[in-house]
């Protein structure tokens, strides 16, 4: 990338005005606009060498490194093992499911996995279903530690056998004077009322009106009502006891599918030497990173991050993956200072990177044969993902990864300008009122696209 100017540049007038309107100082933002091919000096550089917290923009490094290190066609296998013999529809022995980091083993894919087990002629298991999650080594975490919101699905922790993002979805459907409740997936041992009363009035804060209590892992209590004006609505939540989620989900779905189990669903390890009966395959990495980047899925990004060290070292660990990222960065992006990598998702107070480093990453990706896969995974302004409601002018002119945390708001990616040039744009605010910078950063997107 061309050398940055030594002196601070004046910001575009519309960006200065937008910052002034919300009383944000210029040193609250880091801005860099440079041609994607790196052949010309930056159009704009402001605090581009200052390390900042990128929030979810960190997913750019995780996903591009994964594309290069694993390949876009990479898939995760979840092997299933049978210990014992199958006679008259019964497996006499244990069944093992070994997690290997699949980021998208959602409820419908778990159902397909269990259907394949039934396709082997197994309707009853005279033994246990054993869940092996040993391929990741991660410390036990408190889902509310990051921001005090333990029931928000974005706080789900990574797991070698991550099922349905450890989340539940309650669907409320007005019918016959009540709001019928459907829970997906079914969790063994979890009680939920089948319906709640309908109420009059506007939809408004319908979740608050339900007066929900999720503190008991064995029972969801709903003491309020549901406004009929809301129609059908979904409420996704993280399960109160994430460590027991996988066992409850497997047991609940197996039972719902008509399967019998004389033992229990428990944790354990696959016995040495046992060959898998089959392996369930995930979607390809190229598909997975679209979910990660377009919708900023934190736990999927952390699954991918841990997979980097799993593939190189045989076990997925945070420090192992940090070292894989540091080595890849030195070899691929530059041998100077490397960013401070944490967990791969940006859901971190520790992660640090400069606008200049992000621009080098994006320029390297632009010159890579894998550029189409990365760019197509990014939200498109005014069209989809986390930028669907963007107020930047000219829908579809930019592919940008967003990032937001308390004290952080930013975007980074590519802008298609009126001249036909492609620009790399990095714009990140770190400030207690960072969210207020959004109009200024959207003004920068418009300024970048308008280069005639």
Q: Which of 160, 397, 189, 177 is nearest to 269 (CA)?
A: 160
On whether both 231 and 190 belong to a single domain, the answer is yes
On whether both 124 and 267 belong to a single domain, the answer is yes
Looking at residue 87, its pLDDT comes to 97
What digits encode the pLDDT tens for the residues 345-364? 999 999 999 999 999 999 99
Q: Is residue 3 part of a domain?
A: no
* Token pair belonging to 448: 């970048």
* Token pair belonging to 323: 């070292």
On whether both 348 and 400 belong to a single domain, the answer is yes
Looking at residue 438, which CATH number applies to its domain? 3.40.710.10
Contacts of 54 (CB under 8 A, 6+ apart): 346, 351, 352, 353, 358, 403, 408, 410, 412, 428
Looking at residue 251, which CATH number applies to its domain? 3.50.80.20
Residue labelled with tokens 């530690």: 145
Looking at residue 335, its pLDDT comes to 81
Residues 225, 75: Cα–Cα separation, whole Å: 44
On whether both 334 and 383 belong to a single domain, the answer is yes
On whether both 198 and 269 belong to a single domain, the answer is no
On whether both 401 and 307 belong to a single domain, the answer is yes
Looking at residue 7, its pLDDT comes to 46
Strands of 265-311 (E only): list them. 265-267, 278-281
**Pairing relation of β-strands 90-98 and 124-126?**
parallel
On whether both 310 and 397 belong to a single domain, the answer is yes
On whether both 253 and 398 belong to a single domain, the answer is no
Q: Is residue 191 part of a domain?
A: yes
Intervals of the chain under pLDDT 50: 2-7
Q: Is residue 6 part of a domain?
A: no
Looking at residue 150, its pLDDT comes to 62
On whether both 302 and 357 belong to a single domain, the answer is yes
Residues 182, 123: Cα–Cα separation, whole Å: 25
Q: Residue 197 belongs to what domain range?
A: 170-238
**Pairing relation of β-strands 265-267 and 226-227?**
unpaired
Q: Is residue 211 part of a domain?
A: yes
Q: Is residue 68 part of a domain?
A: yes
What digits encode the pLDDT tens for the residues 257-285? 999 999 999 999 999 999 999 999 999 99
Q: Is residue 365 part of a domain?
A: yes
Q: Is residue 4 part of a domain?
A: no
Helices (H), 215-284: 242-256
Structural domains of the chain, count: 3
On whether both 314 and 419 belong to a single domain, the answer is yes
Looking at residue 145, its pLDDT comes to 60
The crossing angle, in degrees rounded to 10, of helices 298-313 and 318-332 is: 80
On whether both 381 and 393 belong to a single domain, the answer is yes
Tell me how far CA of residue 74 lies from CA of 79, 278, 286, 288, 304, in angstroms.
Answer: 16, 18, 8, 10, 11
Looking at residue 138, its pLDDT comes to 83
Helices (H) and strands (E) in the chain, counts: 11, 21
Q: Is residue 150 part of a domain?
A: no
User: What is the overall mean pLDDT for the chain?
Assistant: 95
On whether both 355 and 441 belong to a single domain, the answer is yes
Looking at residue 154, its pLDDT comes to 72
């Amino acid at each position: 990338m061309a050398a940055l100017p030594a002196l601070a540049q004046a910001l575009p007038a519309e960006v200065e005005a937008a910052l002034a309107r919300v009383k944000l100082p210029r040193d609250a933002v880091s801005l860099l606009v440079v041609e994607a091919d790196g052949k010309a000096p930056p159009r704009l550089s402001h605090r581009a060498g200052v390390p900042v917290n990128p929030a979810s923009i960190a997913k750019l490094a995780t996903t591009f490194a994964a594309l290069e290190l694993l390949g876009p066609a990479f898939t995760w296998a979840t092997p299933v093992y049978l210990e014992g013999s199958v006679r008259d529809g019964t497996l006499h022995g244990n069944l093992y499911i070994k997690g290997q980091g699949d980021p998208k083993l959602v409820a419908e894919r778990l159902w397909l996995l269990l259907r394949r087990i039934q396709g082997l002629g197994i309707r009853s298991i005279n033994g246990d279903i054993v869940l092996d999650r040993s391929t990741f080594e991660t410390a036990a975490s408190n889902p509310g530690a990051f921001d005090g919101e333990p029931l928000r699905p974005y706080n789900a922790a990574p797991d070698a056998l991550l099922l349905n993002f450890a989340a539940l979805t309650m669907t409320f459907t007005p019918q016959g004077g009540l709001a019928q409740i459907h829970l997906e997936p079914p969790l063994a041992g979890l009680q939920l009322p089948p319906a709640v009363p309908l109420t009059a009035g506007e939809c408004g804060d319908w979740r608050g009106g339900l007066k929900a209590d999720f503190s008991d892992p064995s029972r969801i209590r709903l003491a309020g009502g549901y406004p009929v004006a809301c129609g059908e609505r979904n409420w996704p939540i993280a399960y109160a006891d994430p460590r027991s989620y996988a066992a409850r989900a497997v047991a609940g779905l197996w039972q719902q599918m008509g399967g019998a189990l004389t033992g229990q669903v428990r944790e354990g390890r696959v016995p040495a030497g046992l060959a898998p009966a089959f392996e369930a395959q995930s979607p390809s990495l190229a598909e997975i990173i679209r979910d990660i980047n377009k919708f900023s899925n934190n736990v999927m990004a952390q699954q991918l991050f841990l997979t980097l060290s799993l593939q190189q070292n045989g076990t997925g660990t945070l420090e192992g993956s940090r070292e894989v990222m540091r080595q890849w960065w030195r070899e691929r992006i530059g041998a100077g200072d490397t960013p401070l990598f944490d967990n791969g998702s940006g859901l971190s107070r520790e992660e640090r990177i400069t606008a200049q480093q992000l621009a080098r990453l994006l320029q390297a990706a632009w010159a890579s044969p894998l550029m189409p896969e990365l760019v197509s995974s990014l939200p498109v302004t005014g069209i989809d993902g986390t930028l669907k409601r963007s107020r930047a002018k000219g829908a579809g002119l930019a592919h940008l990864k967003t990032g937001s945390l308390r004290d952080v708001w930013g975007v980074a990616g590519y802008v298609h300008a009126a001249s036909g040039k492609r620009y790399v744009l990095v714009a990140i605010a770190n400030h207690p009122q960072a969210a207020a910078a959004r109009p200024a950063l959207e003004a920068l997107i418009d300024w970048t696209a308008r280069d005639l």
